[in-house]
Amino acid sequence: MHENIKFRQLVEELVSVIPAGRVMTYGQIATICGKPRAARIVGGIAHFGNTDLPWQRVVKKDGSLASGYPGGVNGHKRVLESEGVTFHQMKIVNMQELLWRPKI
């Protein structure tokens, strides 16, 4: 059977289960949802999709933040810090530890 589920829905479901204080990358999400090269699309969904989801927990692969989050990178950074995420300059410290790996 082929996946009739839309990429967008998979992405949104995945984002919804990221625990507070943990993060996932756009590319990681795209890969898990079956489209390894659709990282930019995940960003597009972040912009146009369900705003009730914890999009603040989705970051770039290098641990920096994308521009586009309401409030800009500074607002984005503050929200993550309120969840316990620490930064060094504009990048997340301990990306490896904070990276959330969902069971597939």
Partner DNA sequence: CGAGTGACCGCAA
Partner DNA sequence: ATTGCGGCCACTC
Complex with DNA: residue 19 or 34, whichever CB lies closer: 34
- C-alpha–C-alpha distance, residues 44 and 8, integer Å: 10
Residues within the interface to DNA (CB under 7 A): 6-8, 25-28, 35, 37-49, 51, 55-56, 58, 60-62, 66-70, 76, 89
Shortest approach of DNA to residue 38 CB, angstroms? 5
For DNA, the closer of residues 55 and 98 by Cβ is 55
- Shortest spacing between CB 51 and DNA, in angstroms: 7
Cβ contact 84:91 at 8 Å: no
Dihedrals phi, psi of 32, to nearest 5 degrees: -60, -35
Task: Work out the burial of residue 70: count CB atoms within 10 Å of its CB; fewer than 13 is exposed, 13-18 middle, 19 or more buried.
Answer: exposed
Q: Smallest gap, in angstroms, from Cβ of residue 67 to DNA?
A: 6
Least separation, in Å, of the C-beta of 57 and DNA?
9
Structure tokens at 46: 């972040």
| Nearer Cβ to DNA (62/81) | 62
Chain centroid offset of residue 29 CA: 7
